[in-house]
Structure formats: C-alpha cells, structure tokens
Amino acid sequence: MAVGRLYQVLEKHPADLRLVFKQFPLDEHSQAGVAAEAALAAHAQGKFWPMHDMMYAHFREISAKNIFVWAKEIGLDLVRFTADLTSGKYKQQVVKEMNDGMTAGVQGTPTIFVNGKRYNGPIEIDVLERVLASELKAVQVTAHR
C-alpha cells in the first residue's frame, strides 16, 4: 500500500524528507469526514500518526464507535478527544485543507507533492527513490550557488 511504501522511503532518508499529511476526505467514503476530524483531534494530543495508521489499517471498519475504541487503544485522553470530536472543533480545518488541496489540483488520494511539484508516477519505492534523488541533487546544486 502507498502509505507503507512512503514510510519505507522516509526511513531511508530521515534527514532529507518529511511527510506532510493534509485532510482530503472523499465523498464516496461515508466516514471520511469524521475520520479526518478524528485524526486532527488525535493530532492535538500528539497521536496523529497512530490514529491515522489505525484507521488506515481498518478503513473498511471506520465508524464513530470504532474511532472511539481506537482512540482508547492508542492512549488518547478520551474525555478531551470526545469533546474535540463531537464539538466539530476541527470541521473548519478539514474544509480549509480540502480547499487548499483543490487549489493545488488534488482530485483524489493519495496525491503526492515533491518539493511543491505534483508527482504523477507510480507509488513504487524504486521510482520514488529516483525522483527524490533527482530533487535532492537539484536542491544541493541550488544551495551551492
């Protein structure tokens, strides 16, 4: 899966790469909106990636009930998480990130940008490695000018 491949590339280049995740819930996924808000509520407690990974691993089982089960499993403060999620506190942030994505030309997920340029190739480790090597080389040349 794409996430696993991205993690593998990140592990190889921890000093040179960073992964920035933006919410872009798709309409065809009925629970995507609540999942996006749950990820941001988990992020507020420093647990974005554990929540993201849990929901991604169980994407066919995403429901409000399961999100709270997973929140407990990853060690979130459930009182705070529940208040944040049920209040709609992160709804506007999700809308903003979706609008930013549409402005950037995102039409689906995952969409990858490398140095601000949309990457349209396969999410395969060897291909990504070549693209990243080229970008890192270009950055180094620019830095030495």
| Inside any domain, residue 37 | yes
Is a pLDDT exceeding 80 seen at residue 141?
no
Q: Each residue of 53-101: pLDDT tens digit?
A: 999 999 999 999 999 999 999 999 999 999 999 999 999 999 999 999 9
Within a domain: 41: yes
Which pLDDT value is given to residue 144?
63
- Whether residue 12 is contained in a domain is answered as no
Provide the percentage of residues in the chain whose pLDDT is more than 70. Answer: 96
Average pLDDT over residues 117-139: 88
Examine residue 5 and state whether it is found in any structural domain, yes or no: no
Nearest to 21 by CA among 47, 42, 46, 52: 52
CB of 119 closer than 8 Å to CB of 3: no
- Classify residue 76: in a domain, yes or no: yes
> How many separate domains does the chain show?
1
> Does residue 69 lie in a domain region?
yes
Q: What is the mean pLDDT of residues 123-143?
A: 84
Work out the average pLDDT over 96-114: 90
Q: What is the pLDDT of residue 87?
A: 96
Candidates 60, 26, 25; CA nearest to 40 is: 25
pLDDT (tens digit, 9 = 90+) per residue, 30-59? 899 999 999 999 999 999 999 999 999 999
- 36 domain residue, yes or no: yes
